Amino acid sequence: MEYSENLRIGFKNITVHKLRSLLTTLGIIFGVASVISMLSIGEGAKRDALEQIELLGTNNIRVNAVTLTGEKAKEAEQKYSNGLSYEDALLFKENLPNVNGVSPIRFVDAPIMLLNKESTGRVVGIDHIYDDITDFRPKIGRFVSELDVEESKRVCVIGSEVRKELFGFRDPIGRTIKIGDDKFTVIGVMETKSMKEGKASVIKLRNINKDIYVPITTAMRRFRDDDRPIFVDEIAVQVASADRVIPSADVIRRTLKRTHFDVQDYEIIIPAELLAQSQRTQRVFNIVMGSIAAISLLVGGIGIMNIMLASVTERTKEIGTRRALGATERDILGQFLNETVLISSVGGIMGVLLGVVMAKGINVFAGWETVISAISVVVAFGISALVGIVFGIYPAKKAAQMDPIAALRFE
């Protein structure tokens, strides 16, 4: 019997029992859809995490100030630890080997005005090396220079969203804006960075498109905190190579432990470690979701086997007639195996379509980033075909091994 004839007979049997065939494929449909949606969520979370880590820099280390309360605050006061400071940044510059740059960062709570317009941006005091550390550069104009920092100049570089709020489509370079009670000259506009606030965020990031950068020395002098005059909110450190990040972080940890008198009023964030942690979490998620998808496919496979065994019993006379007319065991085996593969393949195609719809729905309604890759589609469809083969072998063998005489006598 030719292969095309086997396919024709198999397709005819499926179309004769449309509802039964559809119900049989439901397990395959939902299993494949689960695989597609799971892989799309995993890929989306991976891409989202990578984008977030890239904003921090894989070769970077961030030291953040921590606000202490209660007993911990009293302990810090007793040990004369005043929190993260500009002096800590200077220590890093002097003592850390294999470091490309160190930038202290201070956030300033001050209104930003242009005539009667007020911006929702945030003023950030930084060092001249900050754009190199973060790989975040001006689109027009220039960044804060070393001379600007040394002389505490009243200049600023604004984010792309701040430009839209205050200047619209006008050129802001050389214009003056008011920050607090002081006037600052705009010397540059930063490039636009894509900021995503997905459900699977690795770390909470501020919208840097709303930042207004001023020299760190200007921020400390013009917006002075009398209680903590040299306090900074963050220190960004760029290490020369990725393999030196962990050793450099250990040096930073020992240095701060000594200078802060063993008070934990800071936290050290290593983007590379965050990425590794995110990937470990994602692997666990993939295993759990993969197990759920595997159960659905297992149920679908059992359903296919069940319906094919029933089909073999229903078509016993047909099998006997074909054997009497010269069909071999191999022909009968191929005929029923083709039917199971057709059922599972149709279920696989429908499952792929449902999986794509589910992934898009998750993105729209849940706000999770999803990415549908060609590999996930191929893997899901391949699994569905494999399920058809594995669970179709036993019914096909049972049909092929029937005694033709007994089959012809069957009522």
**Per-residue pLDDT reduced to its tens digit, 113-143:** 998 888 989 999 999 999 988 888 999 999 9
Closest CA to 159 of 177, 146, 182: 177
CA distances from 225 to 263, 267, 340 (A): 21, 22, 76
10-32: average pLDDT: 76
Whether the per-residue pLDDT at 101 is higher than 50: the answer is yes
CA–CA gap between residue 354 and residue 371 (Å, rounded) = 15
Angle at 60 between CA 150 and CA 88, to 5 degrees: 45
Using one digit for the tens of pLDDT, what is the confidence trace for 174-198? 999 999 989 999 999 999 987 655 4
* pLDDT score for 407: 63
* pLDDT score for 183: 94
Q: Provide φ and ψ at 401, rounded to 5°.
A: -90, 10
- 393 torsion bin: left (phi>0), alpha (psi -120 to 50), beta (else): alpha
Closest CA to 379 of 22, 24, 34, 45: 34
CA–CA gap between residue 217 and residue 106 (Å, rounded) = 10
Most confident segment among 94-103, 281-290, 368-377 = 94-103
Whether the per-residue pLDDT at 200 is higher than 60: the answer is no
CA–CA gap between residue 332 and residue 322 (Å, rounded) = 8
Residue 174 identity: G
Nearest-Å Rg of the Cα atoms of the chain is 33
Angle at 173 between CA 171 and CA 174, to 5 degrees: 125
> What's the pTM?
0.66
Per DSSP, the three-state class of 61 is strand
Residue 401 identity: Q
CA–CA gap between residue 108 and residue 334 (Å, rounded) = 75
What are the start-end ranges of the E strands in 248-316?
A: 266-269
pLDDT above 70: percentage of residues in the chain:
89
Token output for 268: 């050290």
Query: Lowest mean pLDDT: which of 9-13, 89-93, 226-230, 376-380?
Result: 9-13
